[in-house]
Amino acid sequence: MFESAEVGHAIDKKTFRAEEETLRNELLLAQNALRELGKFPVVLLISGVDGAGKSETIAQLYEWMDPRFLSTLAFADASEEERERPFMWRYWLALPPKGRIGIFSGSWYSAPIAVRIARKLTRGKLDNRLDQINHFETMLVNEGALVLKFWFHLSKDGQKVRLEKLEKDPRTAWRVTKLSWARMKTYDELQDVAGHVLRVTNTAAAPWIIVDGTDDNYRNLRVGRALLDALKTRLANGTRPPVAPPAPLATRIDDRNVLTALDLTQKLEDKKYERELAKWQGKLSELSRHKKFAGRSLVLAFEGMDAAGKGSSIRRITAALDPRQFQIVPIAAPTDEERAQPYLWRFWRHMPRQNRVAIFDRSWYGRVLVERIEGFCSEADWLRAYAEINDFEHELVEAGAIVLKFWLQIDKAEQMRRFKERERIEHKRFKITAEDWRNRKKWNAYQQAAVDMIDRTSTGKAPWIVVEANDKNFARVKILKAICLQLEKALR
């Protein structure tokens, strides 16, 4: 893949200076248009071999463009906090908001390549990680991001000449370290691994651009022009790239489904409820202090019809936990900051460290529930979200999280009774809003969306547990018991 970057590309100073002025002016205009429009971000990856000019080109972009609206993210070895979360967590948090350009110097490709060269990662596990990266980049593009990936290449002899040149110049000598020379010894391994990585991740959504890093002028103009052309094309053609539509939902031919099949008459009498509640709360407290839980985390997501008892069920869970160990994350309409990012971003930021519990009152499933029903996103957006959510949860589980999702189901008559009770009792009155009554009119739509959601996203790694919630005693005990049984299984 690197042959075209070894043919001796070079641009003389006179040509560079002549073209630089025009390029700089156009980049500033495009950057300003991007910022004023505020509809999509630019994710710019600068990767490649040591000495190929990555930092110099980034510095050149800062000189050409308005640095106030650029951000550079450099990633070294993961910190302890980062190691306790999924691999992609720190990259999600670093994504630029809409209207901005984020430059990644060292990215989600750096660690897999380095670990593979060190022979600490098998080819199969590398390919699994690359598949995860492809899904991530495709999701970014589907969310509207402009993703540009540059690989700066040098031949083996060219790298040696480049490092020697940098080392001789007092202004650049600091850039060459013992590690730079040590990496020369693994040049062949890098080319083999990088060639494989670039081939597997050279997708239609986010293709690689390979740049000859020998000549500074050529390299800087090549990157600047590619960035400008991509910006101008996107600004001219619209804020969202065309994407292949996801597969439609299958037509149902009867009314039998995971919700209509429930027996909502199940009850638990008060005395038995108190015994069972104490039993499973005690068990949960014990499991949360298990020595093996120190290397795991617990993610609980609660969804259900309005007034189904999510809040009271969550309180029975937290009563069994150390308050320093858990975080409750209530999900409402996204803020301006959250709307400037892909929809999963606001959930990634709350993923817990090891030995911690995150409890989501409403969750990432809003994309396929309220956003679907209220038309807050397109049909293509919520249809593709099923697969994106499955990928997201799979990453959490692979990183050691135990993920459980609860749908609390009540019937329409029980919801009406609880609505009326909330209006009547003063300390519950805040729970009932005009939106609750409005949502009730869309009962059938929410039920259908919930069935589709459960069918498409209940996996072995992150199952849905459907809870018969007409009786609160029964629902609370079923939820606590399910959490304990899953924790016991995971901590064996």
Mean pLDDT, contiguous 10-residue spans, the chain (492 residues):
82 94 97 96 95 93 96 91 96 97 94 94 96 96 96 88 84 79 84 95 95 94 97 88 71 86 97 98 98 97 96 98 97 96 97 98 97 95 96 97 98 95 85 87 96 96 97 98 97 93
Domain range for 339 is: 270-490
Q: ∠ at Cα 450 (256, 359), nearest 5°? A: 135
Q: What is the pLDDT of residue 99?
A: 97
In a domain, 208, yes or no: yes
- DSSP codes of every residue in 239-268: SS---PPPPPPPPP-SS-STTTT--TT---
Q: What is the pLDDT of residue 379?
A: 94
Provide the CATH number for the domain around residue 211.
3.40.50.300
| Residues 317 and 465 reside in one and the same domain | yes
| Residues 72 and 114 reside in one and the same domain | yes
CB 225 within 8 A of CB 363: no
Which two tokens mark 301?
């997501």
Give the SS3 label for residue 328.
strand
In a domain, 259, yes or no: no
Q: What is the pLDDT of residue 45?
A: 97
The residue with tokens 């407290």 is 285
| Residues 100 and 26 reside in one and the same domain | yes
| Residues 286 and 431 reside in one and the same domain | yes
As a whole number of angstroms, the distance between CA 320 and CA 149 comes to 48
As a whole number of angstroms, the distance between CA 71 and CA 40 comes to 15
| Residues 334 and 461 reside in one and the same domain | yes
As a whole number of angstroms, the distance between CA 136 and CA 392 comes to 9
In a domain, 456, yes or no: yes
In a domain, 374, yes or no: yes
Q: What is the pLDDT of residue 397?
A: 97
Q: What is the pLDDT of residue 4?
A: 82
Last residue of a domain, one of 191, 222, 237: 237
| Residues 233 and 274 reside in one and the same domain | no
E strand intervals along 331-461 = 357-361, 401-409
Last residue of a domain, one of 217, 237, 257: 237
Q: What is the pLDDT of residue 87?
A: 95
CA dist list (Å): 193 to 47, 87, 115? 14, 19, 10
Q: What is the pLDDT of residue 211?
A: 95
| Residues 36 and 98 reside in one and the same domain | yes
Last residue of a domain, one of 182, 214, 237: 237
| Residues 221 and 308 reside in one and the same domain | no
Q: Are strands 208-212 and 297-304 parallel, antiparallel or unpaired?
A: unpaired
CB 428 within 8 A of CB 362: no
In a domain, 162, yes or no: yes
| Residues 320 and 195 reside in one and the same domain | no
In a domain, 382, yes or no: yes
In a domain, 379, yes or no: yes
| Residues 274 and 384 reside in one and the same domain | yes
| The total number of structural domains that make up the chain | 2
Query: What count of other Cβ atoms lies within 10 Å of the Cβ of residue 78?
Result: 14
pTM of the model: 0.91
In a domain, 373, yes or no: yes
| Residues 325 and 181 reside in one and the same domain | no
| Residues 305 and 392 reside in one and the same domain | yes
Q: What is the pLDDT of residue 6?
A: 81
